[in-house]
């Protein structure tokens, strides 16, 4: 089976714990060494702190007409005591490969790397670029800097394939995300004296309740904007009125008009509470940081979607419910689709796995890309 080499690479990738809050430099060094064995130089795009890096490399001639195979190196946290096997030791059984990141998305990275010898042997006439980012899971944070660097040094690219798990179906659309990290400043006091304290948690709870009223649950969840408050942290002790509270908001949307409407509603809620707190004490209030993940939008008939459909023999494209780095590639003018092995239902789960059959299908697709780039 062609998956043997892929599983060898995947075993190494899974063994390197690249949970988003940790460094990924050991994995980056492994990829650099691996590529060097085939005479391929790579280029790091380091983080400001120096503890992480994105990486991209070119196989074949560095000319226009390239195809980018893109994925992220980081994974979500794992509660090891809830797993049947060690999350960072690949466990292959019953046609599945278990381990953190196997589906999201080290499986795709492993296929790309296992395909490098095939790329080198193919006498490519147009290049294949590999692009591996960090900090995708916290909000596609690092990819824009990597993409900007690629855009500045690489000739024109014909197609970008972001290998997030789609069951090897071609996706041409996904929602964008507006992320806000909100910090509420209240006033600490003994919990027996609420008359002299101002609870930041109470203020946050009121805003959160109002925020969830923005959604219209009667509409189809696949197409309507959805809102999630994913984290809340605040207070110092049970008998102290909370002086601070932070919470995160994620708004997913398909249309720019929806974004503007809902962003206005969100900011109205935050500003109203900020004004109320400042009337009590000018030192109190609400502040927030904002981050965007752009949507992936369908393109015209010259798009990567049509080229990839013709290449793999697909008739239609799908919309995926999750955000990816694809919209960030699209923003620099590179035609982009999402297609990768595995299914999103296995991502971020206890006992995450990928079907080996999916890895084989991914390799088949990359072999078709290699053949196309060799014509």
Domain count, the chain: 2
**Do 249 and 285 have their domain in common?**
yes
Instruction: Kindly state the average pLDDT of the residues 24-31.
Output: 98
CA diameter of the chain: 77
**Do 272 and 284 have their domain in common?**
yes
Kindly indicate the confidence band of residue 6, based on its pLDDT and cuts at 50, 70 and 90.
very high
Q: Which of 260, 293, 326 is the last residue of a domain?
A: 293
Instruction: Kindly state the average pLDDT of the residues 2-6.
Output: 76
Provide CB contacts within 8 A for 102, sequence distance 6+: 10, 14, 90, 342, 346, 352, 353, 354
| 282 pLDDT higher than 60 | yes
- Phi first, then psi: what are they for 269, rounded to 5°? -65, -45
**Do 284 and 334 have their domain in common?**
no
Is 68 within 8 Å of 329 (Cβ atoms)?
yes
105 compared with 258, residue with greater pLDDT: 105
Query: What is the domain range of residue 275?
Result: 176-293
**Do 342 and 355 have their domain in common?**
yes
| 301 pLDDT higher than 80 | no
Kindly indicate the confidence band of residue 217, based on its pLDDT and cuts at 50, 70 and 90.
confident
218-273 pLDDT, tens digit per residue, is: 888 878 899 999 999 999 999 999 999 999 999 999 877 788 899 999 999 999 99
**Do 60 and 71 have their domain in common?**
yes
CATH of the domain at 190: 3.30.70.360
**Secondary structure of the chain as H, E, C letters:** CCHHHHHHHHHHHHHCCCECCCCCHHHHHHHHHHHHCCCCCEEEEECCCCCCEEEEEEECCCCCCEEEEEEECCECCCCHHHCCCCCCCCEEECCEEECCCHHHHHHHHHHHHHCHHHHHHCCCCCCEEEEEECCCCCCCCCHHHHHHHHHHHCCCEEEEEECCCCCCCCEEEECEEEEEEEEEECECCECCCCCCCECHHHHHHHHHHHHHCCCCCCCCCCCCCEEEEEEEEECCCCCECCCEEEEEEEEEECCHHHHHHHHHHHHHHHHHHHHHHHHHCCCCEEEEEEEEECCECCCCCCCHHHHHHHHHCCCCCEEECCCCCHHHHHHCCCCEEECCCCCHHHCCCCCCEEEHHHHHHHHHHHHHHHHHCCC
Q: Which of 293, 308, 325 is the last residue of a domain?
A: 293
**Do 248 and 164 have their domain in common?**
no
CATH of the domain at 105: 3.40.630.10
What's the mean pLDDT when you consider all of the chain? 95
**Do 249 and 321 have their domain in common?**
no
Report pLDDT for 3. Answer: 64
Q: How far is CA 324 from CA 1, 18, 121, 301, 304, in A?
A: 30, 18, 31, 22, 16
Provide CB contacts within 8 A for 40, sequence distance 6+: 57, 58, 59, 116, 120
pTM for the model stands at 0.91
**Do 167 and 218 have their domain in common?**
no
**Do 206 and 350 have their domain in common?**
no
**Do 150 and 222 have their domain in common?**
no
**Do 7 and 90 have their domain in common?**
yes
Provide CB contacts within 8 A for 171, sequence distance 6+: 296, 317, 318, 319, 320, 337, 338, 339
167-205 pLDDT, tens digit per residue, is: 999 999 999 999 999 999 999 999 999 999 999 999 999
**Do 23 and 133 have their domain in common?**
yes
Provide CB contacts within 8 A for 213, sequence distance 6+: none
- Phi first, then psi: what are they for 7, rounded to 5°? -65, -35
Kindly indicate the confidence band of residue 1, based on its pLDDT and cuts at 50, 70 and 90.
very low
Q: Which of 242, 270, 293 is the last residue of a domain?
A: 293
Number of other residues whose CB lies within 10 A of the CB of residue 339: 28
């Amino acid at each position: 089976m062609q998956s043997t080499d892929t599983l060898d690479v995947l075993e190494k990738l899974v063994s390197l714990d690249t949970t988003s809050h940790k460094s990924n430099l050991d994995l980056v060094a492994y990829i650099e060494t691996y590529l060097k064995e085939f005479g391929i130089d790579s280029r790091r795009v380091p983080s400001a702190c120096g503890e992480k890096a994105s990486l991209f490399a070119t196989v074949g001639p560095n000319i226009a007409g390239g195809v980018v195979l893109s994925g992220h190196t980081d994974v979500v946290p794992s509660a090891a005591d809830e797993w049947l096997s060690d999350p960072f030791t690949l466990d292959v059984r019953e046609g599945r490969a278990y381990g953190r990141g196997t589906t999201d998305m080290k499986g795709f990275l492993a296929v790309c790397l296992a395909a490098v010898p095939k790329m080198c042997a193919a006498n490519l006439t147009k290049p294949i670029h590999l692009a591996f980012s960090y900090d995708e899971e916290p909000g596609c944070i690092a990819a824009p800097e990597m993409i900007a660097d690629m855009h500045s040094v690489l000739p024109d690219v014909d197609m970008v394939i972001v290998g997030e798990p789609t069951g090897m179906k071609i996706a041409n659309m996904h929602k964008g995300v507006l992320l806000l990290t909100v910090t509420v400043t209240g006033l600490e006091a003994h919990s027996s004296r609420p008359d002299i304290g101002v609870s930041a948690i109470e203020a946050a709870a009121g805003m959160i309740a109002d925020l969830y009223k923005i959604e219209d649950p009667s509409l189809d969840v696949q197409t309507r904007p959805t809102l999630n408050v994913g984290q809340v942290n605040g207070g110092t002790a049970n008998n102290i009125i909370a002086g601070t509270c932070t919470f995160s908001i994620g708004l997913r949307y398909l249309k720019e008009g929806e974004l503007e409407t809902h962003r206005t509603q969100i900011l109205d809620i935050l500003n109203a509470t900020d004004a109320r707190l400042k009337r009590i004490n000018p030192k109190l209030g609400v502040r927030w940081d904002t981050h965007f993940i752009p949507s992936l939008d369908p393109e015209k008939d010259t798009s990567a979607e049509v080229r990839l459909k013709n290449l793999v023999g697909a008739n239609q494209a799908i919309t995926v419910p999750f955000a990816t780095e694809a919209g960030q590639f699209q923003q620099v003018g590179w035609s982009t689709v999402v297609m990768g092995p595995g299914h999103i239902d296995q991502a971020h789960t206890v006992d995450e796995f990928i079907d080996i059959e999916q890895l084989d299908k991914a390799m088949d697709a990359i072999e078709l890309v290699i053949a196309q780039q060799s014509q």
